[in-house]
């Protein structure tokens, strides 16, 4: 213990810089976790957070006995599949394209334009989207009429259009921001490898395939492992704003369900149990996939 304390004192300046981050996570991450006890207790307003009686696994059993629970899980996994798997190549391809631009001024221009949507809230993005696909006055329906189409399509009210709208709006908003780490990983590849490849007669495509992609593979795997923790959290802001009674069959996910039963219906214990289940499954997935990547690719978080 004395050696440990001496080491802390020796590097006290570094620990002093680290202190605000430690305090932040203790106050806003670890202390609130004590509220998870509500998943096993019946909350009563006169008993406070810890005063209610124990109910054991009651809320978990209630969720899995609910006839709609499998639909919520299926919707959440479907949207997570779109965002974690189908959307994965887009920021990588964008980073590869940006890397091929030789003019630094043009590269900065394209990056700035593509980063900008990330800083818009989902409320603003969905508001713009609603104006574009509005049934009567929307730009998309106006184009359909100009091309000879008749009638108006209620895109937001049709459940068949929900997944395309969700997926492409997510890509438009996040592709630039998600590509930053990949672009930084590409910039860290040794230029001598490209020089050697060019001397051997390799073109740009072969250089990308045999040098760039293998060079950023550890980054791709690390980001993928980290994203698995949110596989049962499909993005509350976007989905909640896209939801309406007409598409609720495919748009209701666990995050929005938790808000509905926890905030609107004041079923705090039940909502905490569903949220705890999300976190535990995400943790198990991260640990499992991390071990597999460590075994197969020698890349891991720890």
**Which domains, from first to last, does the chain contain?**
69-296 (1.10.3720.10)
Which phi and psi angles does 54 have, rounded to 5°?
-70, 140
**Its pTM surpasses 0.95:** no
pLDDT by residue, tens only, the chain of 302 residues: 578 888 888 888 898 999 999 999 999 989 988 888 889 988 888 777 777 888 889 999 999 998 888 999 999 999 999 998 999 999 999 999 998 888 888 888 888 888 999 999 999 999 999 889 888 778 888 888 788 777 777 888 888 999 999 999 999 999 999 999 999 999 899 989 999 988 888 888 999 999 999 999 999 999 898 888 888 888 889 999 999 888 989 999 999 999 989 888 888 899 999 999 988 888 888 889 889 888 888 888 87
């Amino acid at each position: 213990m004395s050696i440990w304390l001496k080491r802390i004192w020796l590097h006290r300046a570094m620990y002093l810089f680290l202190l605000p981050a430690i305090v932040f996570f203790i106050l806003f991450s670890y202390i609130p976790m004590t509220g998870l006890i509500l998943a096993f207790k019946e909350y009563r307003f006169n008993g406070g957070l810890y005063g209610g009686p124990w109910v054991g696994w009651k809320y978990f059993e209630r969720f899995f006995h609910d006839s709609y629970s499998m639909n919520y899980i299926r919707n959440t996994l479907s949207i997570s599949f779109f965002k974690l798997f189908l959307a994965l190549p887009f920021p990588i391809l964008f980073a590869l394209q940006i890397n091929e631009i030789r003019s630094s001024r043009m590269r900065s221009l394209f990056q700035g334009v593509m980063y900008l949507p990330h800083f818009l809230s989902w409320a603003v993005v969905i508001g713009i989207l609603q104006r574009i696909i509005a049934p009567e006055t929307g730009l998309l329906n106006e184009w359909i009429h100009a091309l000879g189409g008749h009638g108006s399509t209620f895109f937001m009210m049709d459940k068949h259009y929900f997944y395309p709208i969700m997926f492409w709006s997510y890509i438009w908003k996040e592709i630039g921001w998600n590509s930053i780490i990949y672009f930084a990983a590409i910039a860290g590849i040794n230029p001598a490898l490209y020089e050697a490849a060019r001397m051997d007669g390799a073109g740009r495509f072969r250089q990308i395939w045999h040098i760039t992609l293998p060079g950023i593979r550890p980054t791709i795997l690390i980001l993928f492992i980290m994203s698995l923790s949110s596989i049962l959290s499909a993005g509350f802001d976007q989905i909640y704003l896209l939801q309406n009674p007409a598409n609720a069959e495919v748009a209701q996910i666990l995050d929005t369900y938790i808000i509905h039963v926890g905030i609107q219906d004041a079923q705090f214990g039940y909502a905490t149990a569903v949220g705890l289940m999300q976190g535990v499954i995400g943790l198990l997935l991260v640990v499992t996939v991390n071990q597999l990547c460590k075994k197969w690719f020698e890349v891991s978080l720890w």
